Amino acid sequence: MDREACLRQVSLSEMPALYRSMQDNRKEMDMFTSFLIKYAEIGVKGKNRYLFEDALVKQIRHALKKCDGEFQVRKTDGRIYVDAVSAFDFEDTVEMLKKVFGVSGICPVIVAEDEGFEKLGERVVKYIDEIYPDKHKTFKVAARRARKNYPLNSMEINTQIGGILLDAYPDMRVDVHKPDIMLHIEIRDKIYLYSEIIPGPGGMPVGTGGKAMLLLSGGIDSPVAGYMVAKRGVKIDAVYFHAPPYTSERAKQKVVDLAKKVAQYTGPIYLHVINFTDIQMYIYDKCPHDELTIIMRRYMMRIAEHIAKETECLGLITGESIGQVASQTMQSLAVTNEVCELPVYRPLIGFDKMEIVEISEKIDTYETSILPYEDCCTIFVAKHPVTKPNLKIIKRHEQNLTEKIEELVQTALDTDELIIVS
Amino acid sequence: MKVYLDNSATTRCFDEVAQLMMQVMCRDYGNPSSLHHKGVEAEHYIRYALETLAKILKVNEKEIIFTSGGTEADNIAIIGTAMANHRMGRHLITTQIEHPAVIQTMRYLEDQGFRVTYLPVDGQGRIRLEDLQKAICKETILVSIMHTNNEIGTLQPIAEAGELIKKMNPMTAFHVDAVQGFGKFRIYPSRMKIDLLSVSAHKIHGPKGVGFLYKNEKCKVSPIIYGGGQQKGMRSGTENVPGIAGLAKASELIYQNLDADMERLYALREMFIQGVSQIEDVKVNGCMGDESASHIVSLSVRGVRSEVLLHALEDRDIYVSAGSACSSNKPQPSATLKAIGIEKDLLESTIRFSFSVFTTKEEIQYTLQTLNEMIPELRRYKRH
């Protein structure tokens, strides 16, 4: 029984709404009830633009399902707004939005009823005071009048609000070129106020770039590789090879946990768990020991590609980086690559270990990755594995496997265990 | 057949214990410190537990302190004694093969400026009384020796040690970690000159998260947890009433039939050892016969890593424990196995089988048969 199932059985039906109380400590954030989502790159995709925007809306909706509170995500006037329609946790919501690829910035917005220009001026004065206790700042007002029957036009709003602010806060100065505070006022059916932009992850919405199969090992590199490709809008499926009894159930749980972390960015991941023991043992029996790892990897790629093709993936992703270990030298990569027809994406190819660790810490997979459970690549590794394998020799030694290998690969594929991780 | 042979890690709860606890949690859920009827009801369970345990150990009810388990009992015994007696001396004695709950607590005291002697053991895991005699000095405030070793099952000469300690220095307190011994042997602290005794409930078919410390009335120990002053200030915090009731029930049940159960378990152990001795290159660690506990067998299987054997057995529904918790990334061979001088290449090939009153002859036979088939197969594949 996996962990999820264990926990589900014992969980009480009534879960206290713990997180609600947290909001009491965050009075100053209560005024924001909406977020304007900025997206950079997808703005320039021509006639496909709506596809990208729709994908982004879908991803945002999916991400917010994990937050307390109810939200409406809407696309209006070429913008995406997230409106909270119930009590919600500001910090959690921002954290979630920061994980949606395609979002370049998140602006917390105050939505106010239109109660006349005078009231608007008061609201703006109050807003500035709440957000910027230190008034030694330059600012610019950028009004936009989408509702054209508003009594003042944009320019008039800019100058008049600017004047009100200067009167209220003598320390503030106007700077129209590089202001510290860019105060946006949008007049629509209601009035929208915002000035802060929280940076998002960038990239493109997942799902706009097709799908690829990630070889997920449980190490530091492969989750990062998955993250990087997903950032370009690619949906991720994953395959993990386990070798019971040589690798433990905890090693598998660790991979599920890693997939879960990556899924925070990529959306649900279909994780295929392949039992690799018999194939590994067969290679161990029939091939030279120092070639075990490289031949194993060739079979892993073959199996991964097979599942990839069946599930409409357009490529494979690995966490390889040149020269990191024996199986990742240029020669070894060439020999492993040779079995694949699909393109193999290796987003970390030019990264140093430290650079990879840095990203893994950022996406919170590092702690899990370094848990000390053996994976199937290390259990029988030779003391001196080949670092410059010769394709012809490897192929010749693979001939030793012809008798049973196809049957074993087929069995492995037939017993594929699918875990949907989200 | 599901064969659970990891009873030194934890045991299945007796049904009666679970039922009693359910009753305490759902019906008699009062706080024993409350003045009203609900509180009195809950207090009855505490009294029942005190009576039961005092009777089993032949001690006074006042001398039982309920804790969150064996680890906390060890911590109170060691840190509490050190804090209360540091003016009399700053020297403690223990053995090299104690449970981490004792060893790590001793290490903490070393950081606090205490001096600790770690007694070596022989090839079977027993301390030598001469070593103990030599180590005790005027400064010694505590000797802590485990009753039954959790990894290899060896019994220590507790009664003799108690006698010796009191002869050498009557002021020295004697603590015994009996987490693996309680429920397997009749332990009478006053007759064995034991001042402090740690016990855990979940090793004797009780619940996790509860245990107790026996503390001789005359023994000076400071509390390490402060608060509402429950248990005469020795261990503040609302008593874990369901746990305490479960602990008492389990103790009662396990001692009900002790002699017959132990006889049966020793016979099973003998049969198991006979069986595995037939397999080539398999070594039994620790003692034979009644010099060992009835429920633990430690095996070293040359050429098979313990983790692999463990998972292979798991595949056949046999659950055991790796003799030393380790992995290829962070090898941490067990201190006990090192102390008994086990060969280096057997350190990572040692596995522990531990039985309970639920273990049957059929289960042992099935396990033997499985080991016979499995070990030669696993030996074929190894790291070069």
Distance CA B325, CA A398 (A): 37
Backbone phi and psi for residue A111, each to the nearest 5 degrees, phi listed first: -110, 120
Indicate the residue type of A189: D
Contact list, B314 vs chain A (CB under 8 Å): 245
DSSP calls for A288-347? -GGGHHHHHHHHHHHHHHHHHHHTT---EE----TTSSGGGSHHHHHHHHTT-SS-EE-T
Mean pLDDT for B15-42 is 95
CA–CA dist B288, B269 (Å, integer) = 9
Give CA–CA dist A396/A393, Å, rounded. 5
Mean pLDDT of B128-136: 97
CA of residue A277 relative to chain centroid, distance: 32
pLDDT at position B380 = 83
Q: Are B373 and B279 in contact (CB under 8 A)?
A: no
Of B311, B327, B328, the CB nearest to A245: B311
Q: Mean pLDDT across the stretch B63-87?
A: 97
Average pLDDT over residues A177-191: 91
Chain B residues with CB-CB distance to A378 below 8 A:
328
Among the partner residues A249, A284, A373, nearest to B327 by beta-carbon distance: A373
The string of DSSP letters for A147-189 reads STTSSS-HHHHHHHHHHHHHHH-TT-EE-SSS-SEEEEEEESS
Q: Measured between CA atoms, how close is B305 to chain A, in angstroms? A: 9
User: For A94-118, how does the pLDDT look when each residue is reduced to its tens digit (9 = 90+)?
Assistant: 999 999 999 989 999 998 888 889 9
Tokens encoding A344: 């193999």
- Answer whether B381 sits within 8 Å of A284, measured CB to CB: yes
Minimum CA–CA partner of A283 in chain B: B381
Does the structure show a pLDDT above 90 at B24?
yes
Closest-CA residue of chain A to B315: A245
Among the ranges given (A42-46, A190-194, A384-388), the one the predictor scored with the smallest mean pLDDT? A42-46
Residues in A touching B327 (Cβ below 8 Å): 372-374
B2–A contact, CB cutoff 8 A = no
Nearest CA to B207 out of B251, B255, B237, B170 is that of B251
Kindly identify which residue of chain A lies nearest to residue B307, measuring between CA atoms. A246
pLDDT the model gives residue A13: 35
Greater model confidence, B330 or A412: A412
Q: Do A245 and B328 touch (CB under 8 A)?
A: no
Taking only the tens place, the pLDDT of each residue in A332-391 is: 999 999 999 999 999 999 999 999 999 999 999 998 888 877 776 677 777 788 888 889
Complex prediction ipTM? 0.74
Residues of B classed as catalytic: 326
Q: How far is A368 from chain B (nearest CA, A)?
A: 14
> With contact defined as beta carbons under 8 Å apart, do B106 and B116 qualify?
yes
List of chain A residues whose C-beta atoms are within 8 Å of the C-beta of residue B330: 372
Longest dimension (CA), chain A: 88
**Contact present, B153 and B298 (Cβ < 8 Å):** yes
- Contact between residue A275 and residue A299 where contact means Cβ atoms under 8 Å apart: no
Are B128 and B97 a contacting pair, CB within 8 Å?
A: no
Q: What is the mean pLDDT of chain B?
A: 94
Q: What is the pLDDT of residue B241?
A: 98
Beta bridge partners of B144: B175
Q: Is A404 helix (H, G, I), strand (E, B) or coil?
A: coil
- Which segments of A86-180 are extended strands (E)? 105-112, 138-145, 173-174
Residue B327, pLDDT above cutoff 60 = no
* Cβ atoms < 10 Å from Cβ of B159: 14
CA distances from B176 to A219, A372, B213, B257 (A): 43, 34, 10, 24
Distance from CA of B2 to the nearest CA of A (A): 15
Question: Is the confidence at residue A14, as pLDDT, over 70?
Answer: no
Distance of CA A139 to the CA centre of its chain: 34
